[in-house]
Amino acid sequence: MKRWIPLLFVLLAVSSCKTRNAARKNTNINDSTAVYTHNDNPKDVNEPVRDKLTFFEHVLVPPKFDQVKINSKVNVETGSFIPTLDATIYIENNQKVWMNLSALFINVARGIATPEGIKGLDRTNKSYIDSDFEYLNNLLNVNFIDYQALQRILMGRTFMKINDSQFTLTKNAQGYKMVSNTNQKITTAEKKREYKISLQYDQNYDLLNVELKDVLSPDELQISYSNWDEYNGLRLPKNVKIIIKGSKTSQIMLENTKFDFSKMETAYSVPANYKKIEIK
C-alpha cells in the first residue's frame, strides 16, 4: 500500500468533464477528418478558433473557492488486488490537499500535500513517507507535478502550461481541442523531458481529457473527466479516470459522490512506532 498514498492524491486529480453526445440525423462519418451532413458537404471537424481570448480566459483562470470536501469511491488497477477505497479529499485553495482512505470501514491511509511536498502514512504496514513532489512525478511518469498542478488535476482544471504560440486550437463536434505543434520541453532540477500534448474541452470549456506522451520513452499519462455539474457556483466533475503507461499500465478511477464547502479539521500525525520509507 505504500505506493497508494501519493498516487491516490492524483487519482482525484482528474474528474472528467460531462460528455455530450449531440444527436445528428442523416450523418455518416467516413474518416477521421471529415463529417458528411445530409447535404453531403464535407465539414472539417477541427476548424480554427477565432475568439481565442475567450477560450484561454475560461480554461486558464483558476476557479474561486475557499475550500471543498469531496467524498469519493476509488478503484485502482495495477495488476495486484486492491479493494475499492472510500476517500475523503479536502482541498484548501492554494494551501493543502488532505486525504483519508478507508477500506471496509477501516482507516488504512492518510496523506497531506502542501506547496512544500507530500506526506502520507500507511496504517496497515505502519510506515510513512515525507517527500517532495519528485516521488509523485515518478509514480506518474512525468516531471512537472507540483502543488498547483496537483490541485488543478483534482479540480479538473488545465494543469500544464498552454499558449497560443506552441499549441494549435481548433473546434470540433465535442468542443475545443488543443494540440502541441512542437514538443513541449519541461526541465526540472532532476530531469529534462519532451512531451506531445493533446487536450479536449467541451462546448462549455469543461476539460474532457488530457494526453501527455513522452517522445523519448514509452511513458504516457492520460486523464479523463466526465459528468461535470455545478456545486455552490463551482463546476466539478463526478468521474475521473487516470491511465499511467510505462513499463506497465496502471489505472485509477474515481467516482466523486458528494461535494461539501464547509471548513473541516485535517488532522495528520505519524505514530512513534511507524517506519519511514526512504524515497530513492
Residue 8 three-state SS = helix
Angle between helix axes 147-155 and 4-11 (nearest 10 degrees) is 60
d(CA 174, CA 191): 35
pLDDT band, residue 33 (cuts 50/70/90): very low
- Output the nine-digit C-alpha cell for 233: 457556483
Q: Which tens digits make up the pLDDT trace of 138-165? A: 766 677 788 998 899 999 999 888 888 8
Instruction: Note the pLDDT tens digit of each residue in 14-27.
Output: 222 222 233 333 33
Whole-prediction pTM: 0.79
pLDDT band at residue 225 using 50, 70 and 90 as cut-offs:
very high
pLDDT digits (tens, 9 = 90+) for 85-130: 899 999 999 999 999 999 888 888 899 999 999 898 888 889 888 8
Q: Which residues of 171-186 are buried (b: 16+ CB within 10 A; e: fewer)?
A: beebbbbbebeebbeb
pLDDT in tens, 43-85: 446 788 888 999 999 999 888 999 999 999 999 887 777 788 8
What is the distance between the alpha carbons of residues 232 and 41, in angstroms, rounded to a whole number? 44
Tell me which of 30-34, 174-178, 180-184, 251-255 is least confident: 30-34
Tell me how crowded residue 30 is: count the other CB atoms within 10 A of its CB. Answer: 9
Q: What is the mean pLDDT of residues 244-259?
A: 88
Compute the distance between CA of residue 191 and CA of residue 162 in angstroms, rounded to an integer. Answer: 20
- Confidence at residue 140, expressed as pLDDT on a 0 to 100 scale: 67
- Is the predicted pLDDT of residue 236 greater than 60, yes or no? yes
- How many other β-carbons are positioned within 10 Å of the β-carbon of residue 101? 24
Band (pLDDT 50/70/90 cuts) for residue 183 is confident
- pLDDT of 157 reads 94
Whole-angstrom CA distances from 77 to 135, 137, 271 are: 19, 19, 29
The neighbouring-strand residues paired with 254 are 74, 240
Of the candidates 145, 174, 176, 177, the one whose C-alpha atom is nearest the C-alpha of residue 161 is 145
- Assign domain 4-19+45-258 to its CATH architecture: Clam (2.50)
